[in-house]
Amino acid sequence: MQKSSQKLTRDSLYSLEEYSNIRSDFRKKVIEHKKDRQVHIGPHATLYFEDALTMQYQVQEMLRIERIFEAEGIEEELSAYNPLVPDGSNWKATFMVEYDDPEERKVALQRMVGIEDRVWVQVEGYDKVFAIADEDLERTTQDKTSSVHFMRFELSDAMISAVKEGSRVSMGIDHKNYQYTVDGIDDNVRQSLSRDLQ
């Protein structure tokens, strides 16, 4: 399997037939992998960090559901999902605002306009790095934010070295209506995320 910072190509993927044979095992592997790639920030927000493996799973599932096997269709899926694979100098994440109750969620999303720009990561000894959110399309109106955002956290070379050397990593949200800090993420999550960096 390629390093997580490398983009997916058609050669990275299983054919529909191969995938149908290994899907159950592959899915288990991805679910296990994802456990070390999520950080809950407060009771209603989670960062799900993406990489080549999580994106390969998304692409394989799309190809399977849509029965896509022609090169052009496969390339379309790759170009849709590859932007969420880290580039070696950043972390990329799907950010979700999560409420079970639809009415509660609706009210919360109205109170959280702009939250996507207030999510941060911090390597110990360095300034907070705020998310660059929704580079593909705008997901917020003046009345409400979306429950899903795509984020990129761009790290300096010094930050990357510090993470690789085991420095503490914290994450949080500084929004006037939602303020929470995770003061030091779990070590297994930090180790998984350090593999995204080169």
What is each CA distance from 25 to 68, 105, 131, in whole angstroms?
21, 34, 34
| Cα–Cα–Cα angle for 128, 171, 174, rounded to 5 degrees | 70
The model scores a pTM over 0.85? yes
Does any domain span residue 61?
A: yes
Does any domain span residue 178?
A: yes
**pLDDT on residue 134:** 85
| Number of domains the chain is built from | 1
**pLDDT on residue 4:** 41
Domain that holds residue 59: 10-194
Query: What residue type is assigned to position 89 of the chain?
Result: S
Q: Which residues pair with 149 in a beta bridge?
A: 95
What is each CA distance from 83 to 49, 93, 169, 171, in whole angstroms?
13, 11, 24, 22
**pLDDT on residue 3:** 41
**pLDDT on residue 6:** 78
Residues 6+ apart with CB under 8 A from 168: 123, 124, 184, 190
Does any domain span residue 49?
A: yes
| Cα–Cα–Cα angle for 144, 35, 91, rounded to 5 degrees | 60
**pLDDT on residue 48:** 98
Does any domain span residue 145?
A: yes
**pLDDT on residue 52:** 95
> Which residue ranges of the chain lie beneath pLDDT 50?
1-5
Six-digit token string for 166: 């085991």
Contact 180, 45 (CB under 8 A): yes
pLDDT tens for 132-141 read 998 876 777 7
Does any domain span residue 2?
A: no
Does any domain span residue 4?
A: no
Does any domain span residue 5?
A: no
Does any domain span residue 1?
A: no
pLDDT tens for 21-65 read 999 999 999 999 999 999 999 999 999 999 999 999 999 999 999
